Structure 1
Amino acid sequence: MKSVLFGLSFASAVLIALPMNAFAQDVIHTAPRALVDMGSDAADGVFPRTVRHMLGATVLTQEPQRVAIISTGQFDSALAVGVVPTASTRGAGQAGIVDDYLLDYYPQYASQLAQVIDLGLRLDIDLEGLAQTRPDLILVNAARDTPEERAQYELLSQIAPTVVTNATGVNWKIIFLLTADALGRREQAQAYLDAFHADADAFAATLGDTPPEVSFVMSTGDRNRIWGVPSFSGSIAEDMGLARPATQRFDKTSEDISVELIDQADGDWIFYGGRGDGLRILTQAPLWPTLEGVMAGRAVEVDFDPYFFNAGPTAARIVLDQVSATIGQ
């Protein structure tokens, strides 16, 4: 039995501010850092707990042992606090049930990750298979409170207690905190984020008064996109005190560009990735060799999934570490 899931695509977010460095006064972060009216009041490891979320409140009577993941980022979030999901869906274009960057980052979980049950595509979940895994927690995203999202939540809640997080990549930090809260590990997640922010601040302190402009561009072969400030990778660049090219300071996750407009991907540093024929389309575009970042030898190919697809804390750490090492070398 299958059912279409709604609202799992990245939604636009409002661009609030673009600070030039992480030590600006009264910084308002584009990526929210704290849960508001969501989560529980219980300390780590304390159950039962009532977790407030996007579409209601869910009571978890005991620590989850069999977690089913429906949406982008939550698999990453669970692993970051030491929980290996029992079952998961796959995103469109995702080769395996577990992304390669997670397999590489968590070799200690290799045997458990090899046994994760495949629930099909995120937009066409196998509900019968989900029920057969006997989950005691289901984690899913929702873009907003709509009749379709609420129907999905109520359907999943008939199978197991369900917690709904925000579907937008720029919200990866509060997705992480809420996911960890449902697992009884919110304080652990907060410590992870505190370390992340400390490292981002330390890098920002090295940049001086004129930080470099960093560009993020990707292609899947059929679509070429540049990424704005209110995106996953864009929010990390902001945390690091990096500037963005004028062409990428828009108030949404991404913008599509044709190869004739590839100059909009230019920057002091260009971080680019692709799937399928995407890399060839980018690097063989007639204007690609004319980009200042390319001519300066500052165009860097990166792993598609952590930069452009899977918004989670492990992916964020990879982006932070790679960008800081590349620019700081």
Structure 2
Amino acid sequence: MTSVLTKRHIKRSASGFLLILLLIVSACGSKDEPAGQGASPTSAASATIGQPSAGASGSASTAATKKIKDAMGEIAIPAEPSRIVVLDNAALDNLLALGVKPIGAASVAALNEPFPSYLKGTEGIANIGTIAQPNLETIAKLNPDLIIGTKVEQEAVYDKLKKIAPTVFIENVGVQWKDNLKLHAEAVGKTEEADKLLKQYEQRVEKFKKERGTKPSQVALLRPRQDHVRVYLPETFSGAIASEAGLTRPAAQNVKGKQHLSITEEQIADLDADVILWFGRENELAYFRDKIRGNPIWGTLKAVKSNQVHQVSSDTWLSGHGIQSVNLMLDDLIRIMAP
């Protein structure tokens, strides 16, 4: 009897010991369990929402900014932007001249067309649509820290752009190209470089004017269109460059308050000047070739008779709008009109 009781006591003691051991192991296991495991998906998500990673938090708290004034007012932008998207050719031209390569840029007229051939170093720049229709989704995927555009062209999408990244707008391209260069330079921290580029250009202009002296210098700037010829007046980009170089316009083309005149085959005489420079896109040359140059009146023009009709690049004279195109335009004037 005693032996039986002893055996039962031993079994009960062993069972109790095993129970205590299991409880200890279970408690230790819960303490060593990796963070998040065992918690419900909802509670795990709740613990991370609104909590940036240590790296992101540190970056946000240390990123320096600066304030500049653009066509939209005052804006805070990164002090040293490194991922820049540009929405017009003026900004692409100027930034490359300043030694800054954007990560994305807009085509001038057609989607995915090559960037202007006169610009060097565009390899690897992503196409983000056209100047008139930038693709916001493509821009967002590039994760820019600065966007540079033009109020006249992209004001309708400004609010959407600035949700992607701080956005700097010039008012418009054209006669204010020097101010545009200065704003672009300020945005990317290259003001000294811009001042140097402008000084070099102005020295070249003065040299050109000095060499020409009082030589006759009326110039006409023509762009063939599908059903007329557009005459570019002094208050345009190309017209402003010609004027700064000391060149004048014939009376019929010296019109203030307008940018262009539309001339048809009945008005060919109004195209005349000492020198005619023309630039246009290949798909718009038929009217100019057939209706203007094919007309007998064209042969009576002073510039035609003296063999002073010259085709120049539309990439620079029409679409450039930046410091690089300006210097190439001056190259053309020196080649054609310098003594």
Identity %: 28
Who is 1:311 aligned against?
321
Q: 1:269 to 1:101 in 2, by over 3 A?
A: same
Alignment map for 1:250-261 (pairs within 5 Å) = 250-251=255-256, 252-261=258-267
Q: Which structure has the higher relative contact order (CA within 8 Å, separation 6+)?
A: 1
- Paired with 2:72 and 2:132, the residues of 1 have a C-alpha distance of 19
Structure 2 unmatched runs, 5+: 1-63
Alpha-carbon distance in 1 for matches of 2:123, 2:321: 22
Aligned partners of 2:128 and 2:138 also within 8 Å: yes
Distance 1:97 1:181 in 2: 27
For each residue in 1:17-51, what CA deviation from the matched residue of structure 2 results, as whole angstroms up to 9, or x when unmatched? xxxxxxxxxxxxxxxxxxxxxxxxxxxxxx63211
Q: Deviation at 1:97?
A: 3.8
CA-to-aligned-CA distance 1:32-89 (integer Å, 9 cap, x gap): xxxxxxxxxxxxxxx6321111102222233121111112411111111111211112
**Larger helix percent:** 2
Amino acid across the alignment from 2:69: R
Partners in 1 of 2:274 and 2:111 — Cα distance?
31
Matched to 1:78, the amino acid is: L
What is residue 101 of structure 2 aligned with on the other side?
84
Supply the AA of the counterpart residue of 1:140.
G
One of 241, 251, 262 as aligned partner of 1:236: 241
| Alignment-derived partner of residue 143 in structure 1 | 152
Count of aligned pairs: 271
Match of 2:194 in 1: 189
For residue 67 of structure 1, the aligned residue among 84, 88, 106 is 84
Unpaired runs of at least 5, structure 1: 1-46
Secondary structure of the residue that 2:74 maps to in structure 1? strand
RMSD: 2.0
> Partners of 1:93 and 1:213 in 2: how far apart?
34
Please say if residues 221 and 275 of structure 1, whose CA atoms lie closer than 8 Å, have aligned partners that are also in contact.
Answer: no
Greater CA drift, 220-229 or 307-316: 220-229
What residue number does 2:253 align with?
248
Trace 1:1-329 onto structure 2 (pairs within 5 A): 48-93=65-110, 96-102=113-119, 106=120, 109=121, 113-143=122-152, 149=155, 152-209=157-214, 211-251=216-256, 252-284=258-290, 285=292, 286=295, 287-329=297-339
Whether the 8 Å CA contact 2:79–2:189 is kept in 1: the answer is no
Q: TM-score, normalised by structure 2?
A: 0.75
- CA shift, 1:275, in A, is 1.0
Structure possessing the higher radius of gyration over alpha carbons:
2
Contact 1:268 1:293 in 2 (8 A): yes
1:88–1:97: 8 Å Cα contact kept in structure 2?
no
8 A Cα contact 2:87 2:148, kept in partner: yes
